[in-house]
């Protein structure tokens, strides 16, 4: 996978960037992680980290973004939410075999404990995570 910026298939999409309401731009409750920071910010984190694999062009990712903010709010200190843009950070996405977004992956102590694929209601996400984050 080589997302060279020059021949990027979503160039048309990127032209529109900033025109639409983008709930991820002003994200305050979820930290952005990258290929470079994933190991330190996620794998070595002392608290569980829910990684949100997303991309600008993905509508369902935007659907769940505010839900994740709420979940982050309600689990302060127990759970960190990290957003990984798969377009800009293809290495981590490839390393974990992400083939569909949104994908939510819960990491505890550097190990992936749970993976949720696709947009789903908040209660489903919380239920799926509950055994790990109390």
Contact set with another protein (CB under 8 A):
1-2, 9-10, 12-13, 16, 19-21, 55, 57-64, 66-67, 86-87, 93, 97-103, 117-123
For another protein, which is the closer residue by CB, 109 or 121? 121
Q: Which residues make Cβ contacts (< 8 Å) with residue 20, sequence separation at least 6?
A: none
For residue 111, the minimal CB distance to another protein (Å) is: 18
Degrees to nearest 5, angle at CA 34 with 56 and 52: 55
Q: Pick the closest to residue 133 from 108, 111, 110 (CA basis).
A: 108
Provide φ and ψ at 125, rounded to 5°.
-60, -45
For another protein, which is the closer residue by CB, 29 or 45? 29
For another protein, which is the closer residue by CB, 45 or 67? 67
Using alpha carbons only, how large is the chain's radius of gyration in Å? 14
Catalytic residue among 31, 32, 58, 120: 58
For residue 89, the minimal CB distance to another protein (Å) is: 12
Rounded to whole angstroms, how far apart are CA atoms 30 and 16? 24
For residue 27, the minimal CB distance to another protein (Å) is: 16
61 as an active site residue: the answer is yes
Residues with catalytic roles: 58, 61
């Amino acid at each position: 996978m080589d997302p060279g910026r020059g021949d990027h298939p979503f160039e048309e999409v990127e032209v529109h960037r900033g025109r639409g309401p983008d709930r991820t731009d002003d994200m305050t409750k979820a930290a952005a992680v990258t290929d470079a920071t994933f190991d330190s910010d996620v794998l070595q984190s002392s608290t569980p980290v829910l990684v949100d694999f997303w991309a600008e062009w993905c509508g369902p990712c935007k659907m769940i973004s505010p839900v994740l903010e709420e979940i982050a709010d309600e689990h302060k200190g127990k759970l960190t939410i990290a957003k990984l843009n798969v377009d800009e950070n293809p290495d981590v996405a490839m390393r974990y075999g992400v083939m569909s977004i949104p994908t939510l992956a819960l990491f505890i102590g550097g190990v992936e404990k749970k993976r949720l694929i696709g947009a789903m209601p908040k209660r489903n996400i919380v239920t799926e995570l509950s055994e790990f984050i109390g």
